[in-house]
Amino acid sequence: MLTVDEALKQILSHAGRQPTERAPLADVGGLVLAEEIVSDIDSPPFAKSLMDGYAVRGADLVEGKATLEVIGELAAGRESTLSLGPGTAIQIMTGAPIPTGADAVVMVERSNREGDQVHLDDASFLPNQNIMPRGRELTSGQRVLEPGWLLGGPECGLLATLGRVTPLVHRRPRLAVLATGDEIVPPDQQPASGQIRNSNESTVLALAQRAGVDVASLGIVGDDTRKLEELIREGLQADVLVLTGGVSAGKKDFVPEVLERLGVAKVFHHVALKPGKPVWFGRHADGLVFGLPGNPVSVLVCFELFVRTALRARQSRADALPELVPATLTADWHYPTRRETYHPARMRMTSSAWEVTPLPWFGSPDLCAVTNANGLLVGPVTDQLHPAGSVMSVLPLRRD
């Protein structure tokens, strides 16, 4: 049976890559860049003022004080035709180009205007203060973004600065989810005896949406191999198909059999993991298929470890693998296990490090416990007590 690390390596090896396309800048937030971005300009393209105030010659100020003649005004977006000579100043707005002859800006709060004269008193005056020189942010020819960069607000703003209005990106993955089992009914139905509502589909859809992918629900299919085959065939049109349930060793766990019949090549089935041991992973053409165990926390854990890794890898993200963080146990923790365990926990950042507290949890059906968690505490294979103060690994769960 594979370890978690071995399973992750297999996923990276088989993940494939999303096709690339040029997309409008307004639509690329959350996508991953597929090209190198090199600046074709200096930014700012001119020396500019960082403050509202007065452009001055430093030589005119003695200990930060001077009375100068104001010879004009310069606003952002306007080109200056004025130049400073001895004893003169120009009133300047934030973002306006620095006029010829000026080498500093005194902020307006340290001035007193009287007609055409301004009295300046800036005890902390320094040459070149409050001026951003040309090219301070970027220079022409500078490489600013690399392939594999996740495009967020700052990155999109930078692309706009450079006039890159149709960047090359990896196409947003499309994920389809299918819940299986005779016992599953839609959330808006009252379960009969022996039935439960379909929570797994909602869990996967929400996690996938947060992962920045397009999602499609294939609904629920009972333990009917003909209907299961029909819906899996439809789901294989997506980049990633996620099935919940039907992958364990039960008499009616038909998913692996039907996947094989449809030509999906199994990569692995079963991982030394708790919860989530029966997880199934395979490849079909250019797409991926995950069969997740039916218990709700197994679905969450397997998505966070395996499905999220695959989605990131398909977009060529450098941070595809789960990022564990060290955290100090706040209490003794004894959880004997023969498989690496991911236990719901509460993380808290102190002034110097993360702390983690294991939450009460009775196992893979206990989704309620996870709603109070912001991390999964990784329990190694051991029957030993982990005393308070031990440093453990934790997989953070995004809650923002």
pLDDT at 400 over 70: no
The mean pLDDT value for 2-16 works out to 97
CB 291 within 8 A of CB 279: yes
203-251: per-residue pLDDT in tens? Answer: 999 999 999 899 999 999 987 889 999 999 999 999 999 999 878 766 6
pLDDT digits (tens, 9 = 90+) for 271-327: 999 999 999 999 999 899 999 998 999 999 999 999 999 999 999 998 999 999 999
Q: Do 147 and 35 form a contact (C-beta atoms < 8 A)?
A: yes
- Is the pLDDT assigned to residue 399 strictly greater than 80? no
CA 40/CA 161 separation, integer angstroms: 10
Is the pLDDT score of 197 beyond 70?
yes
Strand-strand pairing, 184-185 and 196-197:
parallel
- Average pLDDT over every residue of 170-193: 91
Phi/psi of residue 170, nearest 5 degrees: -80, 130
Place of tokens 């995004």: 398
Gap between the Cα atoms of 225 and 259, Å rounded:
10
Q: Which two tokens stand for residue 313?
A: 């890898």
What pLDDT, on a 0 to 100 scale, did the predictor assign at position 194? 86
Per domain, the residue ranges of the chain are 4-18+172-315, 26-40+141-170, 48-132, 325-396
Q: What is the spatial distance between Cα 324 and Cα 6, in angstroms, rounded to a whole number?
A: 16
* 200 phi/psi in degrees, rounded to 5: -65, -40
Name residues whose C-beta falls within 8 Å of residue 160's C-beta, 6 or more positions apart in sequence: 25
Retrieve residue 227's tokens.
């209907």
Q: What is the largest CA-CA distance in the chain?
A: 94
Tell me what pLDDT residue 164 has: 96
* pLDDT at residue number 224: 84
pLDDT of 252 reads: 60
Same fold, 4-18+172-315 and 26-40+141-170: no
Half-sphere exposure of 171 (CA within 13 A, CB side): 11
Residue-level pLDDT at 79: 79
- pLDDT of residue 2 exceeding 80, the answer is yes
Pick the CATH number of 26-40+141-170 from 3.40.50.1860, 3.90.105.10, 3.30.390.50, 2.40.110.10: 3.90.105.10
Strands 196-197 and 168-170, how do they pair? unpaired
pLDDT band at residue 182 using 50, 70 and 90 as cut-offs: confident
> What CATH code would you report for 325-396?
2.40.340.10
Mean pLDDT over 34-63 rounds to 95
What is the C-alpha separation between 124 and 101, in angstroms, rounded? 21
CA 207 to chain centre: 12
Per residue in 109-138, pLDDT (tens digit) is: 999 999 999 999 999 999 999 999 999 999
Contact between 375 and 346 under an 8 Å Cβ cutoff? The reply is yes
Homologous superfamily of domain range 48-132: Molybdopterin biosynthesis moea protein, domain 3. (2.170.190.11)
Q: Classify domain 4-18+172-315 at the CATH topology level.
A: Molybdenum Cofactor Biosythetic Enzyme; Chain A (3.40.980)
User: Is 47 in contact with 95 (CB distance < 8 Å)?
Assistant: no
